Structure 1
Amino acid sequence: MLVNNRWVRASGTLQEKPISIQYREDWTLARDSGKYPLCVQIAWHAQSLDDSTGFPAVAEQARIVAFTEHLQTRLEPDETSVVAMMITHDGINQWIIYTSDLEKLKTGLDSVPTDEGLYPIEVVADPDEEWQTFIQVHERIDTTEA
């Protein structure tokens, strides 16, 4: 596998609401390989929020975690795609995925089990050879210690 499955987590606030960003520890290996010129963003608009955290309610979080695991197991084995980042903020969970093959990615998404119903997601894809979508978020993470 081109990238390992170790994730870095950053959390804080954005516009006075909590935000959580997780990204692959060795994401630069995938970017520098030049194998992933297309950026696919998947947005999940939460149906229920925990008022104390601003994040999806516990039951919905469980579905989001399961969906994330499905994304990795369905999209990454042949190394045509890599789930690079996940962002949770203001009721939206977003995945930033880089791919070399939109058709294989679509096939992988279509194979995600829907036994608990369809997922409330929107999917967009754009060329992004330099990984600017990822980098714009990554550069805003304050890694200084308080």
Structure 2
Amino acid sequence: MKLDNRWVTADGTLNELPITIYSREDWQVLADKGSFPICIQIAWHAEQRDESNAYPSRQDMLKIDVFHHQLQSQIEADSHAVVAMVITHDGVNQWVIYCDDIETVKAGLNKLSAPEQGFPIEIVADEDAGWETFKKVHQAIQ
């Protein structure tokens, strides 16, 4: 099942620094079904921060945007995963992804058009059938 590509945006502060959180508008449809029990978090640590707002620099944000669009189109293509949330804060862009098969997501990541040195990302994955990682952040911004 695919979600609509409509996003809700929340802006605020965390530890006195700006934070922006984008979440899928209809995320609860998938969370309630329990069909994506694995949570994958990808963090992109920017090379440079914009000192006026602590977000990744404009140059880094351009690269992050390209990565985001590749990531979403690649891993959501076969309906085995969904990018549920994107968080930008303190020089880091983080994607919260839910999937039913981690190997499919890994294969999708390997198909992305990466620079020669690769992407500056860290990836962690955990079982999270109740979408608790997502819900914790979502409830904090309500």
> Could you tell me the TM-score, scaled by structure 1's length?
0.94
In structure 1, list runs of 5 or more residues that go unmatched: none
In structure 1, the residue matched to 2:64 is 64
Q: Secondary structure of 2:140's partner?
A: coil
Query: 1:1-146 residue pairs with structure 2 within 5 A?
Result: 1-115=1-115, 117-142=117-142
Q: Deviations over 1:36-92 (max 9, x none)?
A: 000000011111001011101111101111111011111001110000000011111
Task: Go from structure 1 to structure 2 and tell me whether the alpha carbon gap of 1:116 and 1:65 turns closer, same or farther (over 3 Å shift).
Answer: farther
> Could you tell me the TM-score, scaled by structure 2's length?
0.96
Aligned-pair CA distance for 1:121: 0.3
Q: Work out the CA distance in 1 between the residues paired with 2:95 and 2:57.
A: 18
* 2:2 partner amino acid: L
* 1:12 partner amino acid: G
In structure 2, list runs of 5 or more residues that go unmatched: none
Aligned-pair CA distance for 1:116: 6.0
Q: Secondary structure of 1:78's partner?
A: coil
* 1:140 partner amino acid: A
* 1:128 partner amino acid: D
Q: Secondary structure of 1:39's partner?
A: strand
Cα contact 1:82–1:99 (8 A) shared by 2: yes
Aligned-pair CA distance for 1:35: 1.2
Q: Secondary structure of 1:139's partner?
A: helix
Aligned residues: 142
Q: Work out the CA distance in 2 between the residues paired with 1:33 and 1:12.
A: 30
Aligned-pair CA distance for 1:2: 2.3
